[in-house]
Amino acid sequence: MRILVLYSHPVETSFNASLHETVVKTLKVSGHEVDDCDLYAEGFSPALSRQKRIDYHELDRNQANVADYVKRVEQAEALVLCYPVWNFGFPAMLKGFFDRVFLPGVSFRMENGKVVPSLHNITKLAAVTHYGGSRTGAFLAGDPPRKIVKRVLRAQIKPMAPLNYLALYDMSRATDTDSSSFLKKVETQMAHF
């Protein structure tokens, strides 16, 4: 299976970097073709400029500056997101990727004024993440990243596609045992992805 891994963290020595390494290595060992998209290393520009927003609904222009990323998304059969949760949201780099690449004509199309999802090439979805705060705190804040993955992104891909949301909460107080256990859980899940 061709899997696009979207990775969004600027520090190569972070726990998130370890998660990313585990995801990519395990998927490859399991025989998958992995397109490892490290947004920071690739220098992705997340900002949606004035002109890019004006061109957003113009299908002949909206993909011009992100054509390579659009191609990678359209060629993927599965999508794995690997990112930290900051301020109960995605890192700006990942949010910018969605704003700039999940465009009309890519992740959806308009029919009679209604949004029709169109990323049916993606047949599986997973998110691998960690939160600084507790699960209770995230719940009380509405846990936006979890909702976006489980509701918004899931609605854009193949209907009824399997989804796995792997999250380590309370990272600020996690022990080495907690971190190691979570890495092992991620490895096990990715081995069966």
Q: pLDDT digits over 113-140, tens only?
A: 898 999 999 999 999 999 999 999 999 9
Cβ atoms of residues 99 and 39 within 8 Å: no
Count of structural domains, the chain: 1
pLDDT (tens digit per residue) in 78-100: 999 999 999 999 999 999 999 99
- For residue 17, pLDDT over 90 is answered with yes
Q: What is the DSSP letter of 77?
A: S
Q: Which residues pair with 104 in a beta bridge?
A: 108
- pLDDT tens for 176-188 read 999 999 999 999 9
Report the CATH number at residue 71.
3.40.50.360
Amino acid at 155: A
Q: Which residue segment(s) compose the domain that 75 sits in? A: 2-191
* Among 134, 40, 131, residue whose Cα is nearest residue 94: 40
List, in sequence order, every residue forming a beta bridge with 167; answer none if it has no partner. 129
pLDDT of residue 110: 86
Give Dmax (Cα) for the chain.
Answer: 53
